[in-house]
Structure 1
Amino acid sequence: MARTTNKYVGVDVGGTKILALLVSGDGEILGRSKRPTEQEWQPLAAQVAAVIDDLLATTGASLTEVDGIGLAVPGVVDSQTGRLVHAPNLAVDDPWLAERIRERYGVPVAVGNDVNLGTLAEAWYGAGRGASSVVGVFVGTGIGGGVVIDGRIHVGAHDQGGEVGHMVTVVDGPPCGCGNLGCWEALASRTAIEREIRKAVDAGRPTVLAAAAEEDHIRSGPIGKALRAGDEVAVEVMTRVAHYLAQGLLTIKHLLDPEVIVLGGGV
């Protein structure tokens, strides 16, 4: 059957959800499907396949129309073999995820770090379009980064290029999830924001965020409301985080001098 246009499946594999998109060759979104990530028992490849199957069923697209599948994963990927080396937010990670998906569907499969690919998307079709060098900084639970130069992702000698969240910003500073001290993401991420708010609450400082601090996660809505109300703790914490965020961005500017720095993420 002759194709009228190239179609591709893109899958964002996250710690809480798996999102699949059917897109045209020029980036138009033709359909989407989503499922929560099961972290305990179901093999990751089976979960990804279930979302892809849902996508094909809901869009009415057949596999013969799909020219390739791209997988974005929250971890370190060996750029030579496609092996998922380390994914700390996936309890059911599978080193050979891409190979299993390739075997199941019989089409080319590419895999890469999610933030690297997000930065590539911004350089190709988003805020960095037309720039020869783009750095993406995505602030969430941690801080992820990606570097794109002349349309290509810079992965570095050990596939860890762009890991800006682990630049040491304050020597002997707060502990980071990576085991180091004073990393950028230990100072300017959602994790840092929550830690500092809880520290203030534990010290007995008055704040409208006291109740929110008792939850597993402090949501952005209450923090924003507290900021607008001039809550002393919220203003102090967010001013400090903004200072460290700006400090890291300045370091990136001096090190790489990119045309564009794209900010994203859930914070």
Structure 2
Amino acid sequence: MGEFIAFDIGGTYIKYGLIDNQSHILEQNKVKTPNELEELLTILQNYANLHKRAKGVAISIPGAVSDDGFVYGKSAISYIHGPNMKQLIEQRTNLPVYIENDANCAGYAEMWGGSAKGKKDVIVMAIGTGIGGAIIKEGVIHKGANLHGGEFGFMLLSLDRDIEENTWVRMDSTVSMIKKVAKKKNVPYESLSGEDVFKLAENGDEICIKAVDLFYHKLAIGIFNLQYIYDPEVILLSGGISARADLIHCIYKKLDSVIQSMPNATVRPVIDFCKYRQNANLIGAVYGLKQQFYS
């Protein structure tokens, strides 16, 4: 069938590459995400001009994406919310364009050739700056009535203070963990990374040990809730944190404690890693394009 151009538009970088019909990445690069829409469109156009024989352009993008190409919601890239992004990119590239939410693209990648291949009911979780993901229902991405399917970060884990502060993303994202540590250490938030916190914990730092322990505890509670809300075959983890080899082991330790305290909770969630990790959005966007234009 040929080759496809793919872009993963993120708040910091735009990853882009050429992908073949079997999900192989033939070439790949990245560029810093520009501050203006026109600059973004120029980047996409220039790369498309290098591959005029490509069969289409697949776009992974943050936000709630409508079928006609508008990107609703909010993200770190404010200028993508408002114009018809699909139409603008089609005009600049003269190619068929498919555009989809980044977490849904990660789900598509796992369906195509990853850890969700051959399964019908799966949850894909993206854990990083925020917490989100994709719901695969009967082998199809479930977007929901308002395009908010998979917005797990809005789930409330507590009601004991300001409501917004009780959402999963505010209580348990890696950014949330870093901010808690920075506050207790009285250092600028920007001076720490998630890797720093985990490394300090491993070296015996008490503040970081407690922060990491709470991170896994809240993560386990959220995953427990998702299991009993949807009852998927497997919950797949992606995002920068998925690079930690001990992640699933640590989550299971907390999950088992939760399950033991609830005699009627007999289902132990099955957790695994996404296969494609940092390349999932590029590959999944191409899968979505193939399904729409070449199925």
TM-score calculated relative to the size of structure 2:
0.76
- How much has 1:214 moved relative to structure 2? 2.7
Residue segments in structure 2 that go unaligned for 5+ positions in a row: 242-295
- How much has 1:244 moved relative to structure 2? 0.5
For 2:48 and 2:135, the matched residues in 1 are separated by 28
For 2:237 and 2:137, the matched residues in 1 are separated by 17
Equivalent pair of 1:33/1:51 in contact (CA under 8 Å): no
Q: Structure 1 residues 35, 145: CA separation in 2 closer, same or farther (over 3 Å shift)?
A: same
Q: Give 1:253's aligned amino acid.
A: Q
Q: 1:82 aligns to what? A: 69
- How much has 1:258 moved relative to structure 2? 0.8
Q: Give 1:152's aligned amino acid.
A: V
Q: 1:265 aligns to what? A: 239
- How much has 1:41 moved relative to structure 2? 7.0
For 2:105 and 2:26, the matched residues in 1 are separated by 19
Q: Structure 1 residues 173, 49: CA separation in 2 closer, same or farther (over 3 Å shift)?
A: farther
Pairing 1:1-267 to 2, within 5 Å after superposition: 5-40=1-36, 42-53=38-49, 56=50, 62-63=51-52, 65-78=53-66, 80-93=67-80, 95-173=83-161, 180-202=164-186, 213-214=187-188, 216-267=190-241
Identity %: 28
Corresponding residue SS for 1:30: strand
- How much has 1:248 moved relative to structure 2? 0.4
TM-score calculated relative to the size of structure 1:
0.83
Corresponding residue SS for 1:216: helix
Q: 1:208 aligns to what? A: none
Corresponding residue SS for 2:181: helix
For 2:71 and 2:216, the matched residues in 1 are separated by 33
Give the number of the structure with larger relative contact order, counting CA–CA contacts within 8 Å between residues 6 or more apart.
2
Q: 1:206 aligns to what? A: none
Q: Give 1:222's aligned amino acid.
A: D
Q: Structure 1 residues 200, 51: CA separation in 2 closer, same or farther (over 3 Å shift)?
A: farther
Equivalent pair of 2:41/2:92 in contact (CA under 8 Å): no
Say which structure is richer in helix: 2
For 1:41 and 1:96, the matched residues in 2 are separated by 12
Q: CA RMSD in A?
A: 1.9
For 1:109 and 1:230, the matched residues in 2 are separated by 50
Q: Give 2:195's aligned amino acid.
A: G
- How much has 1:74 moved relative to structure 2? 1.0
Q: Structure 1 residues 47, 241: CA separation in 2 closer, same or farther (over 3 Å shift)?
A: same
Relative to structure 2, which stretch is displaced further, 91-100 or 132-141?
Answer: 91-100
For 1:174 and 1:48, the matched residues in 2 are separated by 42
For 1:41 and 1:72, the matched residues in 2 are separated by 16
The CA deviation string for residues 113-139 of structure 1, in whole angstroms up to 9 with x for no partner, is 101111121122212222111211111
Relative to structure 2, which stretch is displaced further, 240-249 or 223-232?
Answer: 223-232
Q: 1:209 aligns to what? A: none
Equivalent pair of 1:155/1:162 in contact (CA under 8 Å): yes
- How much has 1:40 moved relative to structure 2? 4.9
Q: Give 1:190's aligned amino acid.
A: T
For 1:174 and 1:262, the matched residues in 2 are separated by 30
Equivalent pair of 1:171/1:181 in contact (CA under 8 Å): no
- How much has 1:172 moved relative to structure 2? 4.3
Residue segments in structure 1 that go unaligned for 5+ positions in a row: 57-61, 203-212
